[in-house]
């Protein structure tokens, strides 16, 4: 099973508590570790987390600098947990704009965990789905692939997520009802589950609710249910 999550509401949660927005981001990172370990324990095959969108660069520089520092700390501190739980880390998104020291730590963690066979934890960092599709088209053209050779599997092979399954379930926190330029190609037939709780409030109990609800849904992928 592949779960994708839009981790929304860190800043809103902090403001409701009378705390700085950065405190919400710190609590959000702690929640990433908790939910990742639970998914690993449950035998989930893949977890893809929307960490930083390409649109987030519009935020104040002070907040972006804090986020980059927080990302670097997370990548380093979670290595032991990643290796202990047999988690394979992958990262999707454009690399431009990310500080070299952060990229170096990201690459090291990806390389260290490459041989692990458990949960594939995919972090979407500086990610935008439209940029991803644009980059895929450019790569197809560069490789000289003819129009007759282009089909849906061809496009999928040139996306950042090449080799990954499409998400079965999309979870979005903080009550927003939009995809926010996240995995637009891959989410075509995903089930969507939304909670009003902000990401720092997300819990294993809410994850269980989402999975229980998913199990009750009938997925037809455009076809008909039996007997319909």
**Distance in angstroms (rounded) separating the CA atoms of residues 59 and 61:** 6
Task: Say what the pTM is.
Answer: 0.93
**Distance in angstroms (rounded) separating the CA atoms of residues 31 and 37:** 10
pLDDT, mean of residues 100-114? 97
Q: Furthest-apart CA pair in the chain: how many Å?
A: 58
Q: Is the pLDDT of residue 204 over 70?
A: yes
Residue with tokens 């926190």: 173
Q: Which of 56, 166, 168, 181 is catalytic?
A: 56
Catalytic (active site) residue 8: yes
Token pair for 127: 């990610």
Fold of 2-128+165-216: Undecaprenyl pyrophosphate synthetase (3.40.1180)
Angle (deg, nearest 10), helices 61-77 and 21-41: 30
Reported as a single tens digit per residue, the pLDDT across 54-80 is 998 888 999 999 999 999 999 999 999
Q: What local confidence, expressed as pLDDT, does residue 29 receive?
A: 95
From residue 41, give the alpha-carbon distance in Å to each of 35, 85, 139: 10, 8, 37
Beta bridge partners of 47: 3, 121
Q: Which H helix or E strand runs over 192?
A: strand 191-194
> Nearest CA to 95 among 79, 109, 106?
106
List strands edge to edge, sheet with 88-92.
88-92, 120-127, 46-53, 2-6, 169-172, 191-194
**Distance in angstroms (rounded) separating the CA atoms of residues 144 and 205:** 49
Reported as a single tens digit per residue, the pLDDT across 125-174 is 999 999 999 999 999 999 999 999 999 999 999 999 999 999 999 999 99
Q: Which of 8, 10, 85, 126 is catalytic?
A: 8
Domain ranges of the chain: 2-128+165-216
Query: Residues of the chain with pLDDT > 90: what percent?
Result: 92
């Amino acid at each position: 099973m592949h779960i994708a999550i839009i981790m929304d509401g860190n800043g809103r949660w902090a403001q409701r508590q009378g705390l700085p927005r950065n405190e919400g981001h710190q609590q959000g990172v702690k929640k990433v570790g908790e939910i990742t370990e639970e998914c690993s324990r449950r035998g989930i095959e893949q977890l893809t987390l929307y960490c930083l969108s390409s649109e987030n660069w519009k935020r104040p520089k002070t907040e972006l600098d804090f986020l980059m520092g927080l990302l670097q700390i997370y990548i380093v501190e979670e290595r032991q947990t990643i290796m202990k739980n047999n988690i394979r880390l992958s990262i999707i998104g454009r690399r431009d704009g990310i500080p070299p020291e952060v990229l170096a730590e990201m690459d090291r963690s990806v390389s260290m965990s490459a041989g692990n066979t458990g949960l594939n934890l995919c972090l979407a960092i500086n990610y935008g789905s439209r940029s991803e599709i644009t980059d895929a088209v450019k790569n197809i053209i560069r490789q000289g692939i003819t129009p007759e050779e282009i089909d849906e599997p061809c496009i999928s092979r040139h996306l950042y997520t090449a080799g990954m399954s499409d998400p079965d379930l999309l979870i979005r926190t903080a009550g927003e009802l939009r995809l926010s330029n996240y995995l637009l190609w891959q989410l075509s037939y995903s089930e969507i589950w939304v909670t009003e709780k902000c990401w720092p409030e997300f819990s294993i109990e809410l994850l269980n609710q989402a999975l229980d609800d998913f199990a009750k849904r009938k997925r037809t992928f455009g076809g008909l249910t039996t007997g319909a």
